[in-house]
Amino acid sequence: MAATDTPAIPPAPSAEPTARERALAEVRGWLWVILAFLFIQGTVVQARVIPSESMVKTLLIGDHVLVSRLGYDAEVPFTGLHMSLWRNPERQQVIVFHAPLPGHPDLVKRVIGMPGDRLEIRSGAVWVNGKALTEPYLPDAPDSWENRGPIEVPPNSYFVMGDNRNNSYDSRYWGFVSRSEIVGTPMFIYLSVDAPGEAWMPGHARERLSAYGTALLHPNRIRWSRLFVPF
């Protein structure tokens, strides 16, 4: 009986991805990471650093804060376009907002006047709707010579002031903050580095890197007791 030829069985396809497939998968992975970062940065949280003394003692120069944007503001990456969401700040809440002067970095102040409030400063003390405002967060007594108002806060606007009243450029000088300019509110301090204020200003990358390097070499430059202090 003659033997029959067995048909050849084609080899099974390799389960290993090719170099091109691996490269494409890695690119897709990084794209998702970047998109997730931009989404979080634009709508959920942002990291900010404090460059001035206007919010002492609540915030010190070199405090790094995590800011919640959730419910306050959403920004389209790389466009500068943003939209206000459903949440509004409360009186005496600390907020982050776009500076009223073009080209200036965002500011951090405390909400003092709400829409419709009637404000007055009498001998340095703030009065809201005929009642003196209790302000335990002030580092020092305000100057007794300061008298302003009365003024009424317009709709969809807020009157903000720095806690360090004698060293704060705020609504007393440039007016009200529109609701559309509010970015969010600080949640907690995640790092605090004792370094000069210019290290934390925009465009001072060399000074900022020097401040971080000094903190690594000299951990006593980090204000450890301020880490994770909430608002």
Across residues 126-135, what is the average pLDDT? 96
Which top CATH class is 27-192? mainly beta
Residue 168: active-site member = no
**CA 160 to CA 118: how far, in whole Å?**
13
Check if 52 is active-site: no
Domain ranges of the chain: 27-192
| Tens-digit pLDDT profile for residues 47-96 | 889 999 999 999 999 999 999 888 887 776 666 677 777 789 999 999 99
pLDDT class for 104, splitting at 50, 70, 90? Answer: confident
Find all residues with CB under 8 Å of 216, minimum gap 6, and list them: none
Distance between CA atoms of residues 101 and 64, nearest Å: 23
Catalytic hit among 52, 54, 157, 171: 54
Which amino acid, one-letter code, is at 140? D
The model's pTM is 0.80
3-state secondary structure of 217: helix
Which residue in the list 52, 68, 109, 171 is annotated as catalytic? Answer: 109
